[in-house]
């Protein structure tokens, strides 16, 4: 029996680094400190056991060798005029690097799961920057914590305990008692039920409410109507007083801002609010990133191409214009003629019309698990699980890079090995 | 009776805990559902656990009804996943992000069955 202490969790953007893993005969038999999300992934589920292929998506798969599957994947990318390479968030930075190289060589569009998550936040950061902090700073200093359109009880279960609400920090010795917690949401979520103050707004009115808070903060409460987005003016005025009274305030935002009407403009406005609060006291704002290494893809893609995601290599040089080059843009325009989906599940998480187009074009899936993307794939290549069977680099939601540890030995090839072999085969097909 | 609602989608703990196990009945149980408050459920005239049809301008899907009194009146929530995505607004509004929240939906009781993940995706082939 092997006991691995201080193991890192490959599920959500918290990347908790205090897990204890018990391994017997190369199987994980117990896990301590993980939340329900992390434990479910690390303890494992049904895996795809062997590579599979089919010509007709309505027929059953046939098991094939890795050589056959890799050759077919390379043929699909080689023949495609407008390939899309999507996913990446459940893989390590070493995988991203290989993927970006392959995308450049085949002239693909490469996009990651942020496209249905925090990519609008990136657009807002282009406009305004991001006055942010590490989760360590939040743990040690934050005395007012705001969750806006985010629900950590469900999506980031240990965030509040380790960093933002219940944690005891260097200047926050009292933990929960020393922190004021505010939740702004459309629904009274479990997170809202634990807050000191719940601001319930009408769906889609975040931009209006943020603008009202900015007006009150700048001394123009007189122009704010009696109710904004369903929130009484009185509550907004009180909220501004609470925000201003912080010594160190932090706002964590989620899909409530990125996916509602106005999209990135909601975050743009929220960052402006934070900038203006910094005229009174210290404030930071951070996106609640979903997958454990979705932040890492943004980092690698930025240092390799100059852009964080939705990069189009068709011109031979990186080009970036979400709205034109994001995964759903090219699928909905029926522009892409082949796709590789890796470490992400477009079949489950894209709108029906995008999945309909995936069902019409050749699709290669590289993933440990059978999921809706498998259902629309022609070639399926199973791989080892990053962060459980493969070590490497991941970026926590606050941009801190961490070394993920290997818990058990893989029985399948790694993403890096598969991408290397596909790249090699593509080069052969091109006569290089 | 038909209930007009605003639909939002999002994460839940059970959706997350089954996300790497999407062929399982646990995943379907966790994501093929629609949450409404008890008042709206009363307007539909059916009980939690009953099947409802969710129709939008972008598609239709059958899911199970679940009570969540954290929802305001007229707000429906479906956990993110293939059932929710059968009815969300694909328009990326010029910034790459489809409309996963704030979709006008019509909800009705139905006798039709909840499709499995494989049956649901088969509709797109």
SS3 of residue A132 by DSSP: coil
Q: Count CB-CB contacts under 10 A for residue A20.
A: 14
Contact A326, A111 (CB under 8 A): yes
Q: Per the structure block, which two tokens stand in for B108?
A: 């009705």
CA distance A81 to A429: 15
The reply to whether residue A261 touches residue B102, judged by beta carbons under 8 angstroms, is yes
CATH number of the domain where residue B60 is located: 2.40.40.20
Contact A183, A254 (CB under 8 A): no
Extended beta strands in chain B, E state: 3-10, 33-36, 51-56, 59-67, 75-79, 101-109
A15 backbone φψ class: left, alpha, beta (φ>0; ψ -120 to 50): left
pLDDT at B78: 98
CA distance B5 to B54: 10
pLDDT at A311: 98
* Chain A stretch 241-260, residues whose beta carbon is closer than 8 A to a beta carbon of chain B: 255-256, 258-260
pLDDT in tens, A310-338: 999 999 999 999 999 999 999 999 999 99
Residue B27: band (very low, low, confident or very high) from pLDDT cuts 50, 70, 90? very high
Residues of chain A falling short of pLDDT 70: none
Q: Which domains does chain A have, with CATH numbers?
A: 2-42 (no CATH), 46-116+292-429 (3.40.50.740), 119-287 (3.40.228.10)
The reply to whether residue A203 touches residue B101, judged by beta carbons under 8 angstroms, is yes
pLDDT at B28: 98
Of A46, A119, A376, the CB nearest to B121: A376
pLDDT at A289: 98
Give me the domain span that covers residue B100: 3-122
- Give the total number of structural domains in chain B: 1
pLDDT at A34: 98
Q: Which of A14, A84, A355 to mutate to test the interface with B (most CBs of B within 10 A)?
A: A355
pLDDT at A44: 85
DSSP H helical segments within chain B, as ranges?
Answer: 13-17, 25-31, 38-44, 82-85, 117-122
Contact A217, A240 (CB under 8 A): yes
Q: What percent of chain A has pLDDT over 70?
A: 100
B83 CA to chain A: closest CA distance, Å? 8
Q: Give the Cα-Cα-Cα angle A39, A40, A42 (nearest 5 degrees).
A: 60
**What's the full length of chain A, in residues?**
432
A chain contacts of residue B17, beta-carbon cutoff 8 Å: 36-37, 40
Q: Considering only alpha carbons, which residue of chain A is nearest residue B16?
A: A37
B chain contacts of residue A263, beta-carbon cutoff 8 Å: 93, 95, 97
The reply to whether residue A120 touches residue B95, judged by beta carbons under 8 angstroms, is yes
First and final C-alpha spacing in chain B: 32
pLDDT at A46: 87
A chain contacts of residue B95, beta-carbon cutoff 8 Å: 119-120, 123, 263-264, 322-323, 326
Q: Count CB-CB contacts under 10 A for residue A404.
A: 24
Q: Indicate yes or no: pTM above 0.95.
A: yes
Q: Considering only alpha carbons, which residue of chain A is nearest residue B96?
A: A323
Burial zone of B45 (CB within 10 Å; 0-12 exposed, 13-18 middle, 19+ buried):
exposed
**What's the full length of chain B, in residues?**
125
B106 CA to chain A: closest CA distance, Å? 17
pLDDT in tens, B48-91: 999 999 999 999 999 999 999 999 999 999 999 999 999 999 99
Question: Between A and B, how many CB-CB pairs are < 8 A?
Answer: 179
List, in order, residues 6 or more apart from B73 with CB less than 8 Å away.
B37, B39, B40
pLDDT in tens, B40-49: 999 999 999 9
Mean pLDDT for chain B? 97
The reply to whether residue A186 touches residue B18, judged by beta carbons under 8 angstroms, is no
pLDDT at A420: 98
List, in order, residues 6 or more apart from A149 with CB less than 8 Å away.
A184, A185, A186, A206, A253, A254, A255, A256, A257, A258, A260
Q: What percent of chain B has pLDDT over 70?
A: 100
Which ipTM value was assigned to this complex?
Answer: 0.98
pLDDT at A116: 97
Chain B contact present for A126, CB below 8 A: no
CA distance A153 to B61: 28
Of B59, B82, B96, the CB nearest to A115: B96
- Can you tell me which residue has the tokens 């899309």? A84
- Can you tell me which residue has the tokens 């890079």? A401
Residue B21: band (very low, low, confident or very high) from pLDDT cuts 50, 70, 90? very high
Q: Considering only alpha carbons, which residue of chain B is nearest residue A230?
A: B72
A chain contacts of residue B81, beta-carbon cutoff 8 Å: 348-349
The reply to whether residue A348 touches residue B81, judged by beta carbons under 8 angstroms, is yes
pLDDT at A344: 97
The reply to whether residue B17 touches residue A36, judged by beta carbons under 8 angstroms, is yes
The reply to whether residue B23 touches residue A355, judged by beta carbons under 8 angstroms, is no
Residue B1: band (very low, low, confident or very high) from pLDDT cuts 50, 70, 90? confident
């Amino acid at each position: 029996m092997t006991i691995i202490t201080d193991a890192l969790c490959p599920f959500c953007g918290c990347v908790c680094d205090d897990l204890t893993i018990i391994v017997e005969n190369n199987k994980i038999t117990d896990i301590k400190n993980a939340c329900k999300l992390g434990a479910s992934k690390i303890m494992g589920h049904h895996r795809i056991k062997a590579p599979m292929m089919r010509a007709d998506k309505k027929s059953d798969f046939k098991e094939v060798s890795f050589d056959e599957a890799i050759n077919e994947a390379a043929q699909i990318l080689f023949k495609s005029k407008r390939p899309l390479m999507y996913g990446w968030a459940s893989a390590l930075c070493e995988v991203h690097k290989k993927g970006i190289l392959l995308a450049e060589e085949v002239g693909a569009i490469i996009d990651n799961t942020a496209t249905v998550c925090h990519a609008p936040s990136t657009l807002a950061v282009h406009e305004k920057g991001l006055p942010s902090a590490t989760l360590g700073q939040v743990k040690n200093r934050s005395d007012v914590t705001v969750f806006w359109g985010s629900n950590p009880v469900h999506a980031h279960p240990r965030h509040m305990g380790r960093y933002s609400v219940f944690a005891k920090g260097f200047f926050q010795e009292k933990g929960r008692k020393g922190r004021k917690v505010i939740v702004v949401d459309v629904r009274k979520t479990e997170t809202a039920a634990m807050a000191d103050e719940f601001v319930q707004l009408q769906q889609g009115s975040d931009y209006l409410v943020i603008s009202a808070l900015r007006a009150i903060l700048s001394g123009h409460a007189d122009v704010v109507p009696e109710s904004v987005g369903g929130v009484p003016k009185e509550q907004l005025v009180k909220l501004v007083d609470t925000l201003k009274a912080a010594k160190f305030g932090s706002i964590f935002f989620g899909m409530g801002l990125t996916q509602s009407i106005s999209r990135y403009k909601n975050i743009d406005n929220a960052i402006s609010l934070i900038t203006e609060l910094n005229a009174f006291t210290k404030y930071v704002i951070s996106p609640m990133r979903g997958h454990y290494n979705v932040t890492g893809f943004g980092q690698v893609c930025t240092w390799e191409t100059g852009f964080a995601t939705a990069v189009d290599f068709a011109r031979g040089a990186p080009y970036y214009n979400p709205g034109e080059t994001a995964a759903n843009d090219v699928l909905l325009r029926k522009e892409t003629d082949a796709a590789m989906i890796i470490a992400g599940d477009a079949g489950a998480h894209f709108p029906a019309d995008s999945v309909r187009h995936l069902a019409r074009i050749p699709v290669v899936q590289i993933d440990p698990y059978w999921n809706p993307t498998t259902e629309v794939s022609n070639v399926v290549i199973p791989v080892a699980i990053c962060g459980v069977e493969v070590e490497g680099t991941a970026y926590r939601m606050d941009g801190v890079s961490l070394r993920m540890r290997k818990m058990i030995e893989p029985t399948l090839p790694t993403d890096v090995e598969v991408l290397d072999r596909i790249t090699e085969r593509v080069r052969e097909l091109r006569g290089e | 009776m038909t209930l007009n609602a605003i639909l939002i989608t999002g994460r839940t703990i059970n959706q997350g805990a089954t996300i790497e196990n999407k062929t399982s009945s646990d995943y379907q149980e966790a994501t093929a559902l629609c949450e409404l408050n008890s008042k709206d459920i009363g307007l539909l005239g059916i009980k939690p656990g009953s099947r409802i049809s969710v129709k939008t301008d972008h598609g239709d899907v059958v899911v199970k009804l679940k009570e969540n009194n954290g929802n305001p009146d007229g707000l429906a929530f479906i956990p993110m996943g293939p059932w929710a995505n059968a009815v969300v607004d694909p328009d990326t509004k010029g910034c790459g992000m489809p409309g996963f929240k704030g979709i006008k939906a019509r909800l009705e009781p139905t006798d039709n069955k909840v499709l499995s993940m494989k049956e649901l995706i088969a509709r797109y082939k």
